[in-house]
Each structure stands twice: as C-alpha cells, then as structure tokens.
C-alpha cells in the first residue's frame, strides 16, 4: 500500500482541477464581454455600416458591364430583371431580397451584389433598363443601355444613301 501512496504523493508541479476550472470561467467571461462589446460598437459606429459612394459606383459599373455583354433582357417584376447570353447559354436573374440585390445564374445559388438597399425598382427604357434604388435615404437613378437596342434602331446606309 505504501507504493500506491508514494505514486500519488510525489509533489510534482501542475495545475489542480480548481485552477483549470477557474481559468476556463475567466476566459469565458472575457470572451463573452468582448463579443458583446464588439457587437454594440458595430451598431453605434455609423461609419462602419454606411455604404460608400465608391461601393455604389463599383456596383453600377459592374452591373452595367455585365448587362452590356448579355444578348437579351426582360423585366420580370417590379424589383427584378433577367438577362440571357447566347455565348454562355446562361440565364442571369437580378433581384432584391430583403435589403440586398442578388444575382442568380441558371437558377442556382445566389451571389450578393449590393447590401443595405431599402428600395430597388426596375423599369423598361427605350434603350435598356432604368434602375431606381434607395440607399440610406438617398434615391439613385440610372439607365443601363443595351447594345442590342442601338443595333435595332440604327439603319445601315451605303455610300449612295440607299438602305441595306
């Protein structure tokens, strides 16, 4: 029996169960306080949640570039439109869902293009589409021109003035 007690009572350094539990409780409390403080700071710091003009400009340029590359388009609702590409055989849908504008290719998945949009409307325009969106109380409007509309409206004439 002396051999067993000698094994347990050898005064080696280490942590007791109480010390480990105390450390875990302290780490948990610190992490909880940090995450809560960070969430409150994100809500109070308005500059973090504000979309920038550069973000909107980038969204507009990206959307216009993609729109010009597509073969055809149609307004499919008050806040959505579809485009088709013969080259890639893709159907791309753009729509608003809650406060985001998202893109969906061939009805698979969703890609968020722009966030914090409270109002998004799409209208037919003689040369393409007219988009209206409300971003932080500011209304933005622009027209996306589609090359197909220019080709339909342009008459080709030869040097003699005859239409071809």
Task: Please give the model's pTM, rounded to 2 decimal places.
Answer: 0.57
The percentage of residues in the chain with a pLDDT greater than 70, rounded to a whole number, is 77
Domain that holds residue 24: 14-49
88-111 residue pLDDT tens:
678 888 888 888 888 888 888 888
- Of 44-53, 59-68, 97-106, give the lowest mean pLDDT range: 44-53
Query: How many angstroms separate the CA atoms of 76 and 66, rounded?
Result: 17
Q: Are residues 81 and 65 in the same domain?
A: yes
Q: Are residues 44 and 86 in the same domain?
A: no
Q: Are residues 56 and 107 in the same domain?
A: yes
pLDDT greater at residue 45 or residue 157:
45
Q: Are residues 32 and 77 in the same domain?
A: no
Domain assignment present for 5: no
CB burial class (10 A; 0-12, 13-18, 19+) of residue 9?
Answer: exposed
Q: Are residues 88 and 43 in the same domain?
A: no
For CA atoms 87, 123, 146, 127, the dihedral sign is positive
The answer to whether the beta carbons of residues 35 and 42 sit under 8 Å apart is no
- Of 1-10, 30-39, 43-52, 60-69, give the lowest mean pLDDT range: 1-10
Q: Using the predicted structure, report yes or no on whether residue 156 has a pLDDT greater than 50.
A: no
């Amino acid at each position: 029996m002396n051999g067993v007690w000698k094994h347990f009572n050898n005064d080696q350094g280490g942590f007791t169960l109480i010390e480990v539990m105390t450390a875990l409780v302290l780490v948990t409390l610190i992490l909880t306080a940090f995450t809560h403080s960070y969430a409150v700071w994100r809500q109070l710091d308005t500059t973090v949640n504000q979309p920038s003009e550069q973000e909107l400009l980038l969204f507009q340029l990206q959307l216009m570039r993609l729109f010009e590359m597509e073969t055809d388009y149609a307004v499919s609702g008050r806040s959505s439109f579809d485009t088709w590409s013969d080259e890639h055989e893709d159907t791309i849908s753009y729509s608003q869902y809650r406060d985001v504008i998202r893109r969906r290719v061939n009805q698979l998945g969703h890609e968020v293009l722009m966030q914090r949009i409270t109002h998004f409307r799409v209208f037919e325009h003689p040369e393409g589409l007219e988009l209206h969106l409300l971003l932080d109380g500011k209304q933005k409007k622009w027209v996306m021109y589609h090359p197909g509309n220019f080709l339909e409206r342009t008459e080709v004439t030869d040097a003699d003035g005859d239409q071809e």
